[in-house]
Structure 1
Amino acid sequence: MSHDQVRVARALLSVSDKTGLVDFARALHARGIELVSTGGTHRALSEAGLPVREVADLTGFPEMMDGRVKTLHPAVHGGLLAIRDNPEHQAALAAHGIGAIDLLVVNLYPFEATIAAGKSYDDCVENIDIGGPAMIRAAAKNHGDVAVVTDVSDYATVLAALEAGNGALSTNLRRGLAQKAYARTAAYDAAIANWLSRHVEAEGPAPFRAVGGSLGQGLRYGENPHQIAAFYRTPGTPRAGVATARQLQGKELSFNNFNDTDAAYECVAEFDPARTAAVAIIKHANPCGVAEGASLLEAYERALSCDPTSAFGGIVALNRPLDAEAARKIVEIFTEVIIAPDASEEARAIVGAKKNLRLLLAGGLPDPREAGETVRTLSGGLLIQGRDNAVVDDMPLNVVTKRQPSEAEYADLRFAYRVAKHVKSNAIVYARDGATVGIGAGQMSRVDSSRIAAWKAQEGADRLGLPESLAKGAVVASDAFFPFADGLMAAAEAGATAVIQPGGSMRDAEVIAAADAAGLAMVFTGFRHFRH
């Protein structure tokens, strides 16, 4: 046995998830490893015919307070924390009759699953594990002498290492298991802290914030091939979308696929499926076409016509279950991902002919009004904010011009503002008859976004052989106020007839006067939709 190998003589097992437990414990016993256990784990091992001691035999105390107190005792923590080559530690073990514990196997009470299931407050509290994290942290701290297993998926790894090491585990393995153990307890405590934050009335931001998650899947790379990446699931009630979706077929999702598909599904969720079919086509997290329709096919064709060049290799999101009619049309061009609440069997078969095309079924739509948070990293910290859950249907549309919008214009103004919420700032969206006809995104100048959107609308008219730009008679939405009248005038020159914007500029009066001079109708919402 090399210097870095530590032989395992005694193991303490205390698990909530008993998947693979008996087989794992049986393999440990076959190696001559003494088994110690608690509560339900002890019963499971005893019923399997394995010789196993109860923790109560070590501590001299029975489990009490409905199992809240059972392992919080020096007989357990001394056995986990004693440094094997420290004479003082060894003398303390001997003086108090404490046996060393070389392997700890613990997985925690299912707190994350309990909150995800929407259980009561008291049920959630009872599923906060205390003894488990304490033992895990103790064993992980003493990983120079102790191995700690917190994940069922590591059972096979540990058994293989014991076989290769003739009953001993290497320093590298113990260190890796310790790192995983601390990450697990950190994510667990983050879930508890964030859940509690939803039940506390507090003024101002919390002084400490925790972020944690479990590995959903490793990714080949990040935005670029030289960047390492992975997708992690956060605990709690999942928001319908990429994280909840079943992938029926196609290549694994890339980092960019995750990001773009999330953007696409959040955008299309703005459209109530009980009211209309809707389709959003996204490229690089920006809509390149969004439309409503009497059917998904109609909505897709109208969304595609906004910018078919950009739609090539894009993400298609639908607010209703994918049907065969829409599926046949969508697969006509190269598409990276289709995401929908569900899909008919015929639609699944049609998409199935395109082996690399990913089909994701999310099981529902996210609620655009739902509260929540978004997290972004920056150098040395995190930026956390509430989700933009403002919905145009809930906003007062304040007419500030002499001309009132027509009913048709009102409908298109609301449509355009729904889309503008999901376009990167500075955002300008032209729309008519429930479809985008030009989108300008992410420009440093709002005037440039206006010009790009108008150019896209003219390009669309040219493709269709129309004499006038598709912006002629359209409405225009701006995600933030026009700081000067020039951006508004660019829209007017393109042929827009009505405008929706937050308002709030020092020069609102100047912008309103320009709108009146051009004969435009304009409404203020009072809500900005910056998206960076």
Structure 2
Amino acid sequence: MADADLVTIRRALISVSDKTGLVDLGRFLAGQGVEILSTGGSAKALAAAGVPVTEVADHTGFPEIMDGRVKTLHPTIHGGLLARRDLAEHMQAMEANGIAPIDLLVVNLYPFEATIAKGADFDEAIENIDIGGPAMIRAAAKNHGFVSVVVDAADYQPLIDEMTANKGAVTLALRKKLAATAYARTGAYDAAISTWFAGQLGDAFPRRIALGGELKQVLRYGENPHQQAAFYTGGAPRLGVATATQIQGKELSFNNLNDTDAAFELVSEFDGPAVAIIKHANPCGVAEGDSIADAYARAFRCDPVSAFGGIIAVNRTLDAATAEQISAIFSEVVIAPDADEGAKAVLAAKKNLRLLLTGGMADPAVPGVTLRSLAGGYLLQSRDNGRISASDLKVVTKRQPTEAEIADLLFAFRVCKHVKSNAIIYAKDGATVGIGAGQMSRVDSSRIAARKSLDAAQAAGETEAWTKGSVVASDAFFPFADGLMAAVEAGATAIIQPGGSMRDAEVIAAADQAGLAMVFTGMRHFRH
């Protein structure tokens, strides 16, 4: 294809669902002497603003039919978009069939994503699948050697700037960039439709999957400075980092975003006032309390050393009392559903601290999917939204747990779901008192958690580890009794674990001998 560097815009077709910036663009094009073709609401909006416009139906000589489903699907339109100006036979075909070239296409699509996000029924969703728009976009993008295609209002100004600088013409470099953006948009649009349709059919793992997302932020770097990274939003809407408004603080990093997501998902598990402090995607302290301030103090107490430079998530409106506690040490991010003016004023003194407000809490019970990349592929699974209640517990020891122990066991097991395997959680009175994460051996996790508990206690001026008299949760079964005995050595009085080991009888016998209460959940919470 003999692409021309500069192509003058003489005729444009505009058909947009989102009319942001439409009138200003139309007025600019008209001022450049561009003939404007348009449809439906776009044509009415332009005409109402005094912009000369020709209805597509008048241009094609064919009326809109089938409730507007067929209006731009016409050879006059697609021939005008697809014709190569450097091929004599294309130009002859245009002349023979009365087809005028279209140099600029401005289209954004029916709001399918917004329609399904608001919970529209099947029929309404289907009616919001755009057909003519994607067809025109793909045609114009294919013929970018001669046609400019704009699918986003954010690109109106770059188009205007180029045409102003080049006496009404657009460079090949911009046309290529616009074409790439156009194909990405139709790809993401089709991904949204195919994902939604598979969900409607109950097909969790369709033969093919398409992924779509929208760039929210180009990041300074990835996990390490030599890696490039960006944050994209996409998939089913979910309150959290993707919906949050940043109130203050410097730009979020890749690691900040990952850790903040982990923190918010964890704290969303709890109904009462709760706080989670996260470091490197693992909690270093989690607690419920009578208030957010109380919960923060108890979560921080678990591991004040690791909490330095951590991520803090709360599940209530952040108040000034809690903000005062938070501001006593350095923290990277605070995420909350909301914050009162007092809290904002307190944290404003911490210029580098990021404060994110989500507008609500994530629902831990809502189904969803998680995606992880592998070399050459992806791992797709349903979100771990499993929850255990007291009625699900099976007591397997001679000693029954007390009501207080049951409450702590359920709390600890809920935290366990958000700790990297092998995970061991010691808890007492609705707060973590020791966390062991990410070890190759469950025994090591038990011992690390107990050691950190002792360190925290001694730092607070006490001599005995806070794991004494606690309960302990394990994300998976104890394959041997040694893991359980490590918990006994730490002073735990009750244990919650999935069960299901070939050596369950051996582990139960060890628990009985130690006088422990132990319950099985039948549900595992590996997190790798």
After TM superposition, is the score higher than 0.5?
Answer: yes
Which aligned pairs between 1:94-105 and structure 2 lie closer than 5 A? 94-105=95-106
1:485 aligns with 2:481: yes
Distance 1:5 1:212 in 2: 32
Question: How many positions carry a matched residue from both structures?
Answer: 526
- In structure 1, the residue matched to 2:219 is 219
Distance 2:348 2:390 in 1: 40
In terms of mean alpha carbon deviation, does 114-123 or 307-316 score higher?
Answer: 114-123
1:329 aligns with 2:328: no
Deviation string, structure 1 residues 146-182 (Cα, Å, up to 9, x no partner): 1100000101101111122222211111111111001
Distance 2:171 2:119 in 1: 42
Deviation string, structure 1 residues 265-317 (Cα, Å, up to 9, x no partner): 11111110xxx211100011100000111111111111001110100010111
1:197 aligns with 2:198: yes
- In structure 2, the residue matched to 1:183 is 184
After superposition, the CA RMSD in angstroms is 1.4
Instruction: Say which SS state the counterpart of residue 346 (structure 1) adopts.
Output: helix
Distance 1:24 1:3 in 2: 24
- In structure 1, the residue matched to 2:275 is 279
Instruction: Say which SS state the counterpart of residue 208 (structure 1) adopts.
Output: coil
- In structure 2, the residue matched to 1:254 is 253
Distance 1:15 1:251 in 2: 36
The aligned amino acid for 1:36 is: L
Deviation string, structure 1 residues 345-376 (Cα, Å, up to 9, x no partner): 11111111212211111111111111001111
List alignment gaps of at least 5 residues for structure 1.
none
The aligned amino acid for 1:435 is: A
Distance 1:395 1:416 in 2: 16
Deviation at 1:106, TM superposition (A): 0.3
- In structure 2, the residue matched to 1:33 is 34
1:370 aligns with 2:371: no
Instruction: Say which SS state the counterpart of residue 94 (structure 1) adopts.
Output: helix
- In structure 2, the residue matched to 1:47 is 48
TM-score, normalised via structure 2 length: 0.97
Distance 1:252 1:57 in 2: 51
The aligned amino acid for 2:270 is: F
- In structure 1, the residue matched to 2:60 is 59
Instruction: Say which SS state the counterpart of residue 135 (structure 2) adopts.
Output: helix
- In structure 1, the residue matched to 2:115 is 114
The aligned amino acid for 1:143 is: H
Distance 2:216 2:123 in 1: 29
Distance 2:197 2:186 in 1: 16
Q: Is the 2:4–2:145 Cα contact (8 Å) retained in structure 1? A: no
- In structure 1, the residue matched to 2:352 is 356
- In structure 1, the residue matched to 2:239 is 240
Instruction: Say which SS state the counterpart of residue 302 (structure 1) adopts.
Output: helix
The aligned amino acid for 2:19 is: K
TM superposition outliers: structure 1 runs of 4+ over 4 Å: none
Q: Is the 2:390–2:406 Cα contact (8 Å) retained in structure 1? A: no
Distance 1:118 1:41 in 2: 26
2:426 to 423, 426, 430: 430
Deviation at 1:394, TM superposition (A): 7.0
Deviation string, structure 1 residues 206-261 (Cα, Å, up to 9, x no partner): 1011111112222222212222222112154x211111222111112111111111
Instruction: Say which SS state the counterpart of residue 14 (structure 2) adopts.
Output: strand
Distance 1:531 1:395 in 2: 24
1:300 to 293, 296, 305: 296
In terms of mean alpha carbon deviation, does 50-59 or 516-525 score higher?
Answer: 50-59
Q: Is the 1:116–1:235 Cα contact (8 Å) retained in structure 2? A: no
Distance 1:18 1:91 in 2: 36
- In structure 2, the residue matched to 1:136 is 137
List alignment gaps of at least 5 residues for structure 2.
none
Q: Percent identity?
A: 67
Distance 1:394 1:208 in 2: 40
Q: Is the 1:395–1:525 Cα contact (8 Å) retained in structure 2? A: no
Q: Is the 2:304–2:456 Cα contact (8 Å) retained in structure 1? A: no
Deviation at 1:468, TM superposition (A): 2.0
The aligned amino acid for 1:215 is: L
Distance 1:467 1:160 in 2: 70
1:468 aligns with 2:464: yes
The aligned amino acid for 1:478 is: S
Distance 1:128 1:501 in 2: 47
Distance 1:48 1:433 in 2: 66
Distance 1:277 1:32 in 2: 63
